[in-house]
Structure 1
Amino acid sequence: MRAIDEIDRKIIAAVQNDGRITTQDLAQKVGLSPSPCARRVRLLEEDGVIKGYTAVIDQKKVGLPISAFASIKLERQREEDLDRFGKAVARWPEVVDCYLMTGRQDYLMRIVVRDLEAYERFLKDKLTRLDNVASIETSFALGQVKRSDVLPLS
């Protein structure tokens, strides 16, 4: 992968804030002509720096107001156990974020559901049925103070 320079950083900052920006507007914003700008964007995509484009959806407005944060402790942390857990979680659409953690818990995940009954079904039908889960501690978000996918590139 090539080194990211200042123009790449400007491109990344611009597309993080507006994934639908036109090449013409992006080029103007970063000080390039459209053709070299489009080439740089393509290289950033090919290098995996830009992984994709998405719309930010208001979870409440689509009927999914509950965010539950579950801390998971496994009985064993062998590589194959971690891989098996990760593959299972990757299949569950309710899990929107999942991190392998340091500290007392092995994983922290955010689960988005429409109500407490849906969370209970998720817990009983999916999470508790996985082998090697020693404990699950859940906290429910009362409100969202900040959410961002914009990385601090400065």
Structure 2
Amino acid sequence: MSTPPRNPRPHTLDRTDRRILEALQQDAGLSNQELAERVGLSPSPCLRRVRALEEAGIIIGRVALLDPKRLGLELTALIHIGMDRHTPERFAAFEERVTTYPEVQHCFLITGQTADYLLQVVVPDMDAYQDFLLRRITRLDGVSSVHSSFVLRRVVDRTALPLSYVPG
């Protein structure tokens, strides 16, 4: 996936662009022919629009969503991490290292908490989590505090963005 611009301007979408994006958010594996049929276009204009949305940085990638439990990844943890110093260098080093850990699904730099970062991590079980925490997270330079919470149930678990807020 490409990295979107840091402060992108909201892109204006017309009705057809919205329909394309909604369809792809539901099923990114649609062929161009299937997508064109769903949104009421012929294949060539549909493909041009998809490419334009990719070039504008709106579509940044397409993925298959996997069921973690069916793969034996039973435990999702939310980890609040506090840093000892709030310097750009310390944050950059932490972020560079944490991106290499496949267990980390999301890493957010946050405010309004006693923590600096919130990580979402998926592992098979508590033993794997303990190993991840003790061998990786707590050994990172600058980590001064760690607070873990464990997901009991996913109540809302969506990847689709609310396009109704996008200018059109």
Instruction: State the TM-score bracket (shorter-chain normalisation).
Output: over 0.9
**Could you tell me which residue of structure 1 aligns to residue 88 of structure 2?**
79
Amino acid at match of 2:72: G
Which is further off, 87-96 or 30-39? 30-39
C-alpha offsets along residues 89-114 of structure 1, whole Å, 9 cap, x if unaligned?
Answer: 10000111111101221111111011
**Could you tell me which residue of structure 2 aligns to residue 27 of structure 1?**
36
**Could you tell me which residue of structure 2 aligns to residue 143 of structure 1?**
153
Residue 46 (structure 1) shift: 2.2
Residue 63 (structure 1) shift: 0.6
User: Which of the numbers 45, 48, 60 marks the counterpart of 2:69?
Assistant: 60
Q: What is the TM-score normalised by the length of structure 1?
A: 0.94
Residue 86 (structure 1) shift: 0.7
Structure 2: distance between partners of 1:76 and 1:38: 48
Q: Aligned pairs, how many? A: 154
SS state at 2:144 partner: strand
Amino acid at match of 1:110: Q
SS state at 1:61 partner: helix
The two structures, once aligned, show a CA RMSD in angstroms of: 1.4
Structure 1: distance between partners of 2:17 and 2:91: 35
Q: Select the structure with the greater relative contact order (CA < 8 A; seq sep ≥ 6).
A: 2
Residue 56 (structure 1) shift: 1.1
Structure 1 residues without counterparts, runs of 5 or longer: none
**Could you tell me which residue of structure 1 aligns to residue 19 of structure 2?**
10
Structure 2 residues without counterparts, runs of 5 or longer: 1-8
Identity of aligned residues (%): 45
Q: Establish whether residue 106 from structure 1 lines up as the match of residue 116 from structure 2.
A: yes
Structure 2: distance between partners of 1:57 and 1:73: 30
Structure 1: distance between partners of 2:50 and 2:138: 43
SS state at 1:45 partner: helix
**Could you tell me which residue of structure 2 aligns to residue 132 of structure 1?**
142
Q: What is the TM-score normalised by the length of structure 2?
A: 0.86
Amino acid at match of 1:40: R
